[in-house]
């Protein structure tokens, strides 16, 4: 492992021991505030594209880079330490929805370069507070372990190998663009997460260097399970062998409903814990109503309870939310890494820990 990679991992690990790091908020929420239309997404380059592309937010890194740059700046001004690249749907698999798989790599590279330049701009202003770029790998719109056809439980619309191929390409492109770490997020199917993790390791081998990896799963409802049926601890047991720098939860639920699962993850997780919840549950218009002060009160409680090392926001969160988190968590000690007894930790839908 090259020394610069070792230094980056060590730098992050040391920072995480000293304070709770702040992740950014919702890229999609901020894009929606611009009320962009079809022609805004297309720009000059894609003005004659043969399918509708409104809603392809990742494409805006190419057609509206100033908007994306300003969103990054907004979150950094609010106090974020880690900025996520605008690549949640940038795999070839997700880009197939717009017949744009062929430009997937370019979107990843350019999104990473854009986030890199903005983070470097802020780090240069205050070297004592370095800013990091997390290269985002989203879950894709496919699921590897669940059939999309209720009449054919054995049917799958994606294979493990196809997921791996897509994730390898995206990871290499993000690395080329200059990210500091890889964030595999919003995982609703653990098999997808395993494909992403396998692909990231393959990409590291091809590139001849490694980066820190964050993994964040999604508890989909009050049942406390992922969409593929696993409890929080079972999800953790399924991916702990990858040895990411952090394991966490994001999306789906607001902080009030997510709290018990954050506490559970904090109890069982040997590494750092990250969380970025939604600003509550969506209302009848699909909007999120939890304001910054209310949400920050929950987040600050998590910090003071010793649950978290990295915290940010998912759907509905704005720079105002991130600013409230950052201010409220100043001086709050991060969760210390626990020393857990050595056990055989297995998982199906639930955890099975053997002495």
Give the residue among 170, 199, 191 at the shortest CA–CA distance from 58: 170
CB 7, CB 214: distance < 8 Å? no
CB 340, CB 270: distance < 8 Å? yes
| Kind and range of the H or E run holding 241 | none
Tell me if 314 is assigned to a ligand binding site. Answer: yes
Using CA atoms, how far apart are residues 145 and 264, in angstroms rounded to an integer? 25
Tell me if 315 is assigned to a ligand binding site. Answer: yes
Structure tokens, 22: 């702040």
43 Cβ partners below 8 Å, 6+ apart? 62, 63, 64
Give the residue among 22, 10, 14, 11 at the shortest CA–CA distance from 302: 22
Using CA atoms, how far apart are residues 307 and 271, in angstroms rounded to an integer? 12
Collapsed DSSP state (helix, strand, coil) of residue 142: coil
Using CA atoms, how far apart are residues 135 and 129, in angstroms rounded to an integer? 19
Beta bridge partners, 347, equal 351
End-to-end CA distance of the chain: 34
Other beta carbons less than 10 A from residue 191's beta carbon: 18
Structure tokens, 94: 């997700």
Other beta carbons less than 10 A from residue 332's beta carbon: 16
Q: How far is CA 206 from CA 40, 133, 169, 200, 330, in A?
A: 37, 21, 11, 10, 40
Cα angle 45-58-40, degrees, rounded to a multiple of 5: 45
Using CA atoms, how far apart are residues 307 and 320, in angstroms rounded to an integer? 22
> Binding site: which residues?
251, 314-315
> Binding site for Zn(2+): which residues?
251, 314-315
């Amino acid at each position: 492992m090259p020394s610069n990679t070792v230094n980056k991992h060590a730098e992050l690990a040391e920072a995480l021991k000293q304070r709770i790091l702040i992740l950014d908020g919702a890229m999609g929420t901020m894009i929606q505030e611009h009320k962009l239309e079809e022609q805004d997404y297309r720009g000059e380059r894609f003005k004659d594209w043969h399918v509708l592309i409104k809603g392809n937010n990742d494409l805006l890194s190419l057609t509206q880079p100033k908007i994306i740059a300003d969103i990054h700046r907004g979150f950094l001004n609010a106090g974020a330490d880690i900025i996520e690249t605008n690549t949640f749907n940038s795999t070839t698999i997700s880009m197939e929805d717009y017949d744009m798989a062929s430009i997937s790599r370019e979107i990843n590279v350019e999104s990473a370069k854009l986030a890199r330049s903005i983070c470097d701009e802020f780090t240069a202003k205050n070297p004592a507070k370095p800013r990091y770029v997390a290269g985002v790998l989203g879950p894709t719109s496919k699921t590897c372990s669940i059939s999309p056809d209720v009449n054919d439980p054995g049917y799958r619309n994606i294979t493990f190998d196809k997921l791996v191929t897509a994730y390898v390409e995206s990871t290499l492109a993000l690395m080329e663009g200059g990210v500091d770490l890889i964030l595999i997020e919003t995982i609703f199917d653990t098999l997808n997460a395993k494909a992403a993790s396998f692909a990231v390791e393959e990409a590291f081998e091809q590139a001849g260097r490694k980066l820190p990896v964050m993994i964040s799963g999604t508890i989909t409802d009050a049942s406390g399970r992922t969409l593929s049926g696993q409890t929080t601890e079972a999800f953790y047991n399924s991916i702990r062998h990858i040895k990411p720098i952090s394991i966490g939860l994001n999306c789906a639920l607001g902080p009030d409903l997510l709290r018990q699962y954050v506490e559970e993850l904090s109890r069982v997780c040997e590494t750092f814990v990250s969380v970025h919840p939604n600003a509550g549950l969506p209302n009848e218009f699909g909007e999120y109503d939890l304001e910054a002060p209310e949400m920050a009160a929950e987040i600050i409680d998590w910090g003071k309870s010793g649950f978290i090392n990295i915290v940010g926001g998912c759907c509905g969160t704005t720079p105002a939310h991130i600013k409230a988190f950052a201010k409220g968590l100043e001086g709050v000690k991060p969760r210390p890494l626990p020393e857990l007894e050595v056990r055989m930790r297995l998982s199906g839908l639930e955890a099975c820990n053997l002495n």
